Structure 1
Amino acid sequence: MVLDVAALRSHFPSLDHGLAFFDGPGGTQTPRPVGEAIVATMTGPISNRGTISTTERTADRVVTEFRAAYADLLGVPAGGIVHGRSATQLTYDFSRHLARTWQPGDEIVVSRLDHDANVRPWIQAAEQAGVTVRWIELDGASLDLDTYRPGERTRLVAVTAASNVLGTKPPLPEIAERARAAGALVWVDGVHYAAHDLVDVDALGADFFVCSPYKFFGPHCGVLAASPALLETLRPDKLVPSTNAVPERFEFGTLPYEQLAGATAAVDFLAAVASVSARPAPASVSARAVSRPAPAAGGAGGSPAGPGSRRDRLAASFAAIHEHELALRARLEEGLRSLGDAITVHSTAPDRTPTTLITLEGRDAREAQIHLAGLGVLAPAGSFYAYEPFRALKLTDPALRVGLAPYNTPEEIDRFLTGLAGFLR
């Protein structure tokens, strides 16, 4: 299946400005249907959740549809979907919930591959509980599983599904199997992964999985997925009058309904991508297919499984996206090799996302970012909160990160390569 990039791009107003966006790992551009869903919810008749008035029922429907959409996206029951302000906030909250049962002598495991949001909350919680921290070390751009030995006192293993700087996708099922054998829980940071692969929480071996809709066309927020039965075992501090039901007991205060509606629209937009990718299809039909996504399904388990379900449509869309991004990554890597020894590519793991981290011999990556921005090519420089990978690999801060998204084109890859070559000259 070939991704119809022109039809896809027609739904992103920001792409009309002539900029080439290679900053997807920091947050993608937003399609029109997502913005429209946010505006319609904010400006329509709505109040706090309830069952009496139309406005109360509208708010309740927005929440129900949000949980159903992310149940379909992540492959868990809708009752296991928790909304948060960000993945970082959710990780901090749940590190405190989980640490209540930890005792001195217990251990947790974190990795050198991770964004600091999946390292520091756990280390700080461990310090407060008197718990030992163990590390999975790096071997080049990949995790060294010889340094990973969970034991009977290991309570939790926190690891990324994909590095936000190197793109590395570690072997999560193997990591999770070892953790389960030791009786430990597995917390997976899927913020970067969920933008490029269809998530199956059980297949990955995750007990908890967090992601951020703004990495895949949605608004700025975080989503946690877990088994409702597992969530039932956790007792967060909460206000006395607030509900103790799962998953609501973890969502403090009134939910931002407009944000939930936008996040749901992002999932529906993703599910419609495949419908514009089956060629030959007229461009006008392709555009209508994305503009009119199927309505979100309600119920406790998301939409029904089976042919034509939202989960099936998401699988087809991610297959098309993966094929497109893989071709773009190959074009980028070939072009970088042609630029010679002045460039070092650090994204070398066999299994990785279309995100490439490079450093420039004798040159400041921030200056390269500025030069490229002047050409309308947005490729950011920095360490991107990947504190541990930069330390472990002795990487120069800043480095240049080239992150691809489904709306990128081969012509944009060439614009980047031409601009970078000009900077090096």
Structure 2
Amino acid sequence: MTGTLDVAAVRARYPALADGSAYLDGAAGTQVPTSVIDAVAGAWRAGIGNHGGAFAASRRSDELTAAARLAVTDLVGGPSPDGVLLGPNMTTMTYRVANALAATWGPGDEVVLTRLDHDANVRPWVQAAARAGVSVRFADPVLPSLDLPVEAFADLVGPRTRLVAVTAASNVVGTRPDVRAIADLAHEHGALVYVDGVHATPHGPVDMAALGADVYATSSYKWSGPHLGALVADPALWEELHPDKLASSPDEVPYRFETGTAPFAQHAGLAAAVDHLAELPVSPAPSGTRRQRLLATMAAVEAFETDLLGVLLDGLAAMPHVHLIGSPARRTATVYLTVDGWTPQQVAEHCAAAQVNVWAGHMYAWELTGLLGIRDSGSAVRAGLVHYNDRSDVDRLLAALGDLG
């Protein structure tokens, strides 16, 4: 049985929500709870030093990083904390891994990407493939639903495919492809599966093994943490790759991928964000390990957001001047829309005047907005729900859009 999320209790944990705004911009980055703020501040207050020192402050930093790796492992069902790479964001880290992987490719090899993905799971592979002399093939979502079925990959994946990169959820229209079916097809041909879970992770339980992901990417600032990214894989996979690094820096996994001095206080915030998700007010209260509690609380989040999305979709359907882009069968609580007679930027500015936070533009869905023919005209408006949004936020968005009719 899926538990029930107490959204009022959730909202009380987020000090930023007291400013009166309807924060429907979570797809670009969430607010953070008091526990995360306190964890970051507490790390600085306690004293931290660089890794590997003989003194207490250095050992604290070592412990903070180890706790962050373990927290990400619990959140996504990773194989081992030693397989968690931490860095500034998913984009930077994907570039780093793409360059290392491309060193193992050769002419005649192929990579398969999608036009549904955020450009961070497209451009690094396109550019790395070009340098390696590797062909790039694209799977297109189905119009107008913007579903991405496994059939879209059937004629693209073959014996020369080295990599399939696919999103677990579109950051603009919310489409949730059948990643497992896509991964099974890729694995039949010996290809590596790189899953962008940045948008998917905040919206429900994640099990990267069940998805068939060889690498799973996520960003903690999308699930109430600090601005950090993480890539998760079996450490054995990382052992096969040799990214450029300083001669003096460690060669062990995962350190060989993590250039420069780490933001140790941010690592404290990341672990606190995972704890926050595991401790969400859900009835009945889940028990067990942190991993078990996360599966339960995030299932409650998914159910809550699905119900709230239904209210939003019904309200939008009643407005003839508002047009939704995409109607995927499986989706996160994210909508992308246009309004007759108004540019996306004008809509966003009108909403902002009503203290309703939404975004206008391509949202880095570069290939998708190009496929839809809207990229050069301002694209569309995105609103997204996360676990701290409530019915009043939805009602305020609907009222603001209704004013434009």
Q: Measure how far apart 1:394 and its partner are.
A: 2.3
Letter in 1 for 2:16: S
How big is each residue's C-alpha offset from its partner over 1:35-63, in whole Å with a ceiling of 9 and x where there is no partner?
11111112322212236322121111111
Residue 36 of structure 1: which of 38, 46, 63 is its match? 38
How big is each residue's C-alpha offset from its partner over 1:187-206, in whole Å with a ceiling of 9 and x where there is no partner?
11111001112221111111
C-alpha distance 147-322 of structure 1, shift in aligned 2 (>3 A): closer
Q: How does 1:96-135 map to 2 (within 5 A)?
A: 96-135=99-138
- In structure 1, C-alpha distance between the alignment counterparts of 2:196 and 2:297, rounded to whole Å: 22
TM-score, structure 2 normalization: 0.95
Letter in 2 for 1:350: A
- In structure 2, C-alpha distance between the alignment counterparts of 1:147 and 1:402, rounded to whole Å: 27
Q: Which runs of 4+ in 1 moved over 4 A?
A: none
* Matching residue of 1:243: 250
- In structure 2, C-alpha distance between the alignment counterparts of 1:42 and 1:398, rounded to whole Å: 42
Residue 189 of structure 1: which of 191, 196, 215 is its match? 196
* Matching residue of 2:289: 309
Residue 361 of structure 2: which of 382, 387, 397 is its match? 382
Is the CA contact (8 Å cut-off) linking 2:113 and 2:138 kept in structure 1? yes
Letter in 1 for 2:342: R
C-alpha distance 11-119 of structure 1, shift in aligned 2 (>3 A): same
Letter in 2 for 1:278: S
* Matching residue of 1:408: 389
- In structure 2, C-alpha distance between the alignment counterparts of 1:369 and 1:45, rounded to whole Å: 42
Q: In structure 2, list runs of 5 or more residues that go unmatched.
A: none
Q: Measure how far apart 1:115 and its partner are.
A: 0.7
- In structure 1, C-alpha distance between the alignment counterparts of 2:59 and 2:30, rounded to whole Å: 31
Give me the CA root mean square deviation.
1.5
- In structure 1, C-alpha distance between the alignment counterparts of 2:275 and 2:175, rounded to whole Å: 27
Residue 359 of structure 1: which of 338, 341, 344 is its match? 338
Query: Is residue 347 of structure 1 aligned with residue 354 of structure 2?
Result: no
* Matching residue of 1:278: 283
Query: Is residue 63 of structure 1 aligned with residue 68 of structure 2?
Result: no
Letter in 1 for 2:310: A
Aligned residue for 1:47, secondary structure, equals coil
Query: Is residue 210 of structure 1 aligned with residue 217 of structure 2?
Result: yes
Aligned residue for 1:202, secondary structure, equals helix
- In structure 2, C-alpha distance between the alignment counterparts of 1:168 and 1:147, rounded to whole Å: 14
* Matching residue of 1:46: 48
Is the CA contact (8 Å cut-off) linking 2:206 and 2:295 kept in structure 1? no
- In structure 1, C-alpha distance between the alignment counterparts of 2:181 and 2:282, rounded to whole Å: 34
Q: Measure how far apart 1:332 and its partner are.
A: 0.2
Is the CA contact (8 Å cut-off) linking 1:137 and 1:144 kept in structure 2? no
* Matching residue of 2:22: 20
Query: Is residue 372 of structure 1 aligned with residue 366 of structure 2?
Result: no
Residue 417 of structure 1: which of 394, 398, 402 is its match? 398
- In structure 1, C-alpha distance between the alignment counterparts of 2:24 and 2:287, rounded to whole Å: 34
Is the CA contact (8 Å cut-off) linking 2:218 and 2:229 kept in structure 1? yes
Query: Is residue 260 of structure 1 aligned with residue 262 of structure 2?
Result: no
* Matching residue of 1:88: 91
How big is each residue's C-alpha offset from its partner over 1:210-251, in whole Å with a ceiling of 9 and x where there is no partner?
111000000111100000111111112222222111111111
TM-score, structure 1 normalization: 0.91
Q: Measure how far apart 1:277 and its partner are.
A: 2.1
How big is each residue's C-alpha offset from its partner over 1:396-425, in whole Å with a ceiling of 9 and x where there is no partner?
52311110011111121111111110122x
Query: Is residue 337 of structure 1 aligned with residue 344 of structure 2?
Result: no
Q: Once the two structures are aligned, what percentage of the paired residues are identical?
A: 44
Is the CA contact (8 Å cut-off) linking 2:150 and 2:178 kept in structure 1? no
Q: Measure how far apart 1:347 and its partner are.
A: 3.2
* Matching residue of 2:147: 142
- In structure 1, C-alpha distance between the alignment counterparts of 2:351 and 2:289, rounded to whole Å: 42
Residue 177 of structure 2: which of 166, 170, 176 is its match? 170
394-403 vs 218-227, greater mean Cα deviation? 394-403
Query: Is residue 223 of structure 1 aligned with residue 230 of structure 2?
Result: yes
- In structure 1, C-alpha distance between the alignment counterparts of 2:44 and 2:240, rounded to whole Å: 35
Q: Measure how far apart 1:81 and its partner are.
A: 0.4
- In structure 2, C-alpha distance between the alignment counterparts of 1:32 and 1:144, rounded to whole Å: 40
Is the CA contact (8 Å cut-off) linking 2:336 and 2:380 kept in structure 1? yes
Q: In structure 1, list runs of 5 or more residues that go unmatched.
A: 282-305
* Matching residue of 2:186: 179
Is the CA contact (8 Å cut-off) linking 1:108 and 1:131 kept in structure 2? yes
* Matching residue of 1:295: none
Equivalent pairs, count? 396
Is the CA contact (8 Å cut-off) linking 1:136 and 1:144 kept in structure 2? no
- In structure 2, C-alpha distance between the alignment counterparts of 1:176 and 1:53, rounded to whole Å: 46
Is the CA contact (8 Å cut-off) linking 1:366 and 1:398 kept in structure 2? no
- In structure 2, C-alpha distance between the alignment counterparts of 1:257 and 1:33, rounded to whole Å: 16
Letter in 2 for 1:213: S
- In structure 1, C-alpha distance between the alignment counterparts of 2:351 and 2:152, rounded to whole Å: 40
